[in-house]
Every structure is written in structure tokens, then in C-alpha cells.
Structure 1
Amino acid sequence: MSDARTLRARAEDQAAPLPPLLAKAEQLAGAVLMGEHGRRRAGLGADFWQYRPMQQGDSLRNVDWRRSARGDTQFVREHEWQIAQTVMLWVDGSASMRFGSSDAVPEKLDRARLLALAVSILLDRGGERVGLLGDGPPPRRGRAQLMRLAQAFTREDEADYGLPEIGGMIAHGRAIMLSDFMGDLEPVQSALTTAADKGVHGVLVQVLDPSEEAFPFQGRTRFQSIGGSLSHETLKADALRPRYLERLAARKAALNDLARVTGWQYHCHHTDDSAQSALLWLWRALDGGGAV
């Protein structure tokens, strides 16, 4: 009985942020003007594109029974406009994202969740399907899907730094990845290389706290990762500032270059900046109109 009560309490704790998060995301999305998007793009039609294995949430009406009869797997026919209307998301839920330098700014994870859900609302209103990379909900439309996404965004990872998910990436579709990208860069390179090989274009949004950009620390300071696996103490924190800023600039430049060579776009957003401006940039970038 104790285990059941504990499980229920955890479930209630996870569900509690959903209504406020949805309300904030809907308010934020409402502030962004809807533009031409998705199926209304020139050159897209109902031509057959590819077969793919049936996923959870697919209707039996979409199964191609003749193709499925060749084996034990059920296949769905996808058309050109369906591929173009699919956007897959990854929101880094690792420990490093649960950082906020003061009560005046949100945690990086809270801002990333808000932007991800707000752009999902805009995409849904524009007739597009949205899903999560990895083992999250497959791409679908509708209010129920937005609730699934909001629920999935409440999950947290105990690892210090997040690893980009590539499972469920749909060839020739689009994707959005939101993270601080402060961990190992190699998994990001691997994920974007895989995306490029599949013809997937997308957006990298690096979410940083203002203190991570300014490095305002002085004197004796102990730096410790949110997850607790990394720790460093110094008597002269201000002496570390030039080297830190140099490495941060190098990381941002590497992400920008990586996005450019793989056909993606990169944007750095600070949590003390307007969420609306970040959402507007993201919305335009999905149509190829964003600026780095």
C-alpha cells in the first residue's frame, strides 16, 4: 500500500505542472502570428513517398495490406505532404537543464519546455503532426497529442548532461532540439550527421542562463554540476573567466558550424530574454526564414 501511495504521489507531482504549462504555452503561441506553413507550401502534394512500419497511434485505415502481406510487419503508406508536415522534438531533461541562477529567471528546462510546447501548439494549428524523438509519443495531431507532449516534457533525466535522441527520426521530415549543449559535443555531431543522412532539416536551440554567459563569479567559489558528479573549487574564480568565455564562444561556434554543414539552423537563447522572441525566431526558422 505504501508503494502505491508513493507511486500516486509521484504521478500527481508530475501532472501538477501540466495545466499551468499548457496555459502559458497557449498564451505564448497566441502572441505569434500564424503564417503560411505545412501543407500550404508550394510543390507539395499527395504523391506517394514511402512505406514505413506501423507505429502506435496509426489508424488501421492507413495500412497498406498488399505491402504488409509480404511479411509479418504492417506497413503504412506515407505521402509527400505527410512527411513535410511532421516535426519531431527533443527537449533535454538532464540535470544541467534544471539550473536557474536566481528567482528572476526560469530554469533552463522550464524555458525549453515552454518553447517546445508553444511551437507544438503552433504546428498543430497549422495542420502539422508533432512527436518526440526517442521513445516519446509518435507524431500525431490534436489536443490529446498536446497533452501527451506536455506529460512527456515533465520527465527528467538524472544524467548531468543530455544525449540527443535520434530514435523515431522520420526521413525528409523536420526536427527541433532544445538543450544547453554543455556536455560532450560528439553525440550532437552524431545526431545531426544521422539527420543529414536521412534528409532531415531542423533547428538547434541552445538555452543558457545569463550567469553562464556572463560568468560573474569572484573569489573563492565552488562549482558543482547539478547532478553532483563534477565539482571544482577555486580561490580566484575571476581568474577563470577569460578561459571560460573563450571555451563557451568556441562551443557556440562549433554548434553553429555543425548546424550549417548539416543543413540545420542554430540559435542561442538566454532565459532572461523574451520567450516570445525566441518562439518567433523558431517559428520562422522552421520555414527557413530564421537568422542565426
Structure 2
Amino acid sequence: MTQPLALRSQAETLAAPLPALLAEAEHLATTVLLGEHGRRRAGTGDTFWQYRPAQPHDEARSIDWRRSARSDTSFVQDKEWQIAQSIILWVDQAASMSFTSDANLPSKGGRARTLGLACAILLIRGGERVGLTGLRLPPRRGEAQVMQMAQLLSQDDDSDYGAPQAQGMLPHSRALFISDFLGDLQPVEDALLRAADRGVRGALLQVLDPQEEAFPFDGRTIFQSMSGSLQHETRKAGDLKQRYLDRLAERKDRLAHLARTTGWQFQTHHTGESATKALLWLYGALERHA
């Protein structure tokens, strides 16, 4: 059995990032003025759309007990108006996002989580339902949803690079993916194609550290992934600069092309730039699909 003191220590460690993340996201959200918002369409109010398996976050009152009685699984009704106003977020929490080249700059992950949570706060306050991909947190409104989202976004992923999940993206809803997109792009392409097939539109925001754009390395250099599982040593790092920059440009072009073909928006943001500017772009990109 876990000792009370150890359990309390673990709980405090888990909760420690929440106030800072929430405070930063709240502060960032206040820099954006909300105007008239929402997709209130007449005639779509309580129209039934589909049954879906209940998730841990669903309230007992939302379960359709008549439908659930015919199965071993509990089911919840999705309404058409809920789908029309749902936004699903994926924020990369993998090891590569913990990189920062300067102690005065936020890590890529820190900036990505702040932007994702700030965008969720704005959308929820504007009447939207916001959740996380992969069925981690179904779309809902309310401050409790923001708290649960902050808790989940404060967790880290041990893998080197993250990959978005298409699960949880409801037809004709909207989605937001925030990552450095430096890993394998095939999962990103698969997720966007699946989203496009379901009529989902959204935005891709690539978050990079300024050093990743400049490649200021020369001479003997050891390049190592944030998890330490990947490593490359060279005696002439400067000779790699143009090849690296060309491959980075190709990657951005591929992401931009993928966004265009699936009806999404794409933008690159650097951690040395204004977070407010990035949030305004994100909010505007999602509004264009409203």
C-alpha cells in the first residue's frame, strides 16, 4: 500500500505545473478580445446524431440507459449541435518538445501547451466545446474542463517524437494540432487524411526553437535527441548546415501542401516570437472554419 506521505508527495509533484500553466494560459487568453462568436444554427438544437461508448469523464446523467441496457457497454448520445461546436486539440508532449536553446526562452513544449490551453479557454468562453484527441477528454464546456485539460497537458511523453491521433475527431468538427513536427510525418498525414474524410477542418501550428532555424553549429558537434536514444557525432557540423536547412524547408513545404489539400491552415511559430501573435493566428484559423 502507498504510504500517505509518499502519496501526498506524488500528488503535489503532479499538481505543481498546473497553477503555472493555467496562469500563463489565462494571462495569454486575456490579450485576445472576444467578439461575437459561436455557430448557433437554427434547427440543429437537439437533433440526435449517434451513440458512442461512454468515457470516464462523461457524467452519469448523460448516459442513455435504454440503449446501454442492450449491451455490456454504457452509451452516450451525441447531438448534432454538439458536433458542430466541437474542437479537438492535440498538443505534442513528447521529449523533443522539451528543447530550448536559451534559458530566457520557453521550451517548445511549454509554449505549445500554453498556446493550446489558452486557445481552449477562449473557445470555451465563446460557447464552444473543447476536448483532446485520442478520446483522452471528450469535448465539453466549463471551467472544470479547462482544469482537466491543464492536468492532462502537464504530463510528459517519453517517446522522442509525438504523433497525432485521429480518434475522437467528430465529423464536421474542428481540430488543432500543435507540435514541432520533426518526427515521422506519415502519422500526421494519416491523421489529416482521416480528418478530411470526416469533414474535419482545422489548423497545424509548428513550434520551433530559433536555433532549429539558424543551425549555428560548426566544428566537432554531438547531436543528441532529448531522450538520449538518438545520437550523431560530426567533426564538421558546418558542412551539414545547408543540407539541414534544405530538409527543414522541404518538411515545411510538405506540411503546408498537406494542409492545403485537406482544407487546413498551417503556420510556423518560433519560441522567441510573441505568443499573443500565435494565439491570434490560431483563433483566427479555427474561426475561418466555423
Q: Does the TM-score normalized on the shorter chain lie above 0.5?
A: yes
Matching residue of 1:119: 119
Cα distance change of structure 1 residues 3 and 163 upon mapping to structure 2, 3 Å threshold = farther
CA–CA distance in structure 2, aligned partners of residues 36 and 178 of structure 1: 26
Matching residue of 1:129: 129
Matching residue of 1:250: 250
CA–CA distance in structure 2, aligned partners of residues 201 and 29 of structure 1: 22
Cα distance change of structure 1 residues 16 and 213 upon mapping to structure 2, 3 Å threshold = same
One-letter amino acid matched to 1:18 = L
Matching residue of 2:263: 263
How far residue 135 of structure 1 moved from its aligned partner, in angstroms, is 4.5
Tell whether the 8 Å contact from 2:174 to 2:289 is kept in structure 1 after alignment.
Answer: no
Matching residue of 1:277: 277
What is the TM-score normalised by the length of structure 2?
A: 0.91
* Partner-residue secondary structure (3-state), 1:242: helix
One-letter amino acid matched to 2:204 = L
How far residue 87 of structure 1 moved from its aligned partner, in angstroms, is 0.8
* Partner-residue secondary structure (3-state), 1:138: strand
How far residue 236 of structure 1 moved from its aligned partner, in angstroms, is 1.4
CA–CA distance in structure 2, aligned partners of residues 110 and 210 of structure 1: 15
CA–CA distance in structure 2, aligned partners of residues 109 and 5 of structure 1: 30
CA–CA distance in structure 2, aligned partners of residues 49 and 278 of structure 1: 36
How far residue 12 of structure 1 moved from its aligned partner, in angstroms, is 1.7
* Partner-residue secondary structure (3-state), 1:87: strand
How far residue 5 of structure 1 moved from its aligned partner, in angstroms, is 4.9
CA–CA distance in structure 2, aligned partners of residues 158 and 73 of structure 1: 32
Report Cα offsets for 1:139-179 as digits up to 9, x if no partner. 11111111100010111111111121222222221111111
Matching residue of 2:14: 14
Cα distance change of structure 1 residues 255 and 60 upon mapping to structure 2, 3 Å threshold = same
Matching residue of 1:171: 171
**Percent identity of paired positions between Structure 1 and Structure 2:** 57
Tell whether the 8 Å contact from 1:64 to 1:74 is kept in structure 2 after alignment.
Answer: yes
Cα distance change of structure 1 residues 99 and 7 upon mapping to structure 2, 3 Å threshold = farther
CA–CA distance in structure 1, aligned partners of residues 280 and 25 of structure 2: 13
CA–CA distance in structure 2, aligned partners of residues 49 and 192 of structure 1: 26
Cα distance change of structure 1 residues 188 and 7 upon mapping to structure 2, 3 Å threshold = farther
Cα distance change of structure 1 residues 289 and 194 upon mapping to structure 2, 3 Å threshold = closer
* Partner-residue secondary structure (3-state), 1:202: strand
One-letter amino acid matched to 2:15 = A
CA–CA distance in structure 1, aligned partners of residues 61 and 11 of structure 2: 34
CA–CA distance in structure 1, aligned partners of residues 25 and 185 of structure 2: 30
How far residue 34 of structure 1 moved from its aligned partner, in angstroms, is 0.6
Cα distance change of structure 1 residues 283 and 78 upon mapping to structure 2, 3 Å threshold = same
Cα distance change of structure 1 residues 262 and 4 upon mapping to structure 2, 3 Å threshold = farther
The correspondence of residues 4-153 of structure 1 with structure 2, limited to 5 A, is 5-40=5-40, 45-46=44-45, 48-53=47-52, 54-64=54-64, 67-68=67-68, 71-153=71-153
How far residue 60 of structure 1 moved from its aligned partner, in angstroms, is 4.9
Superposition RMSD on alpha carbons, in Å? 2.2
How far residue 231 of structure 1 moved from its aligned partner, in angstroms, is 0.8
Tell whether the 8 Å contact from 1:85 to 1:128 is kept in structure 2 after alignment.
Answer: yes
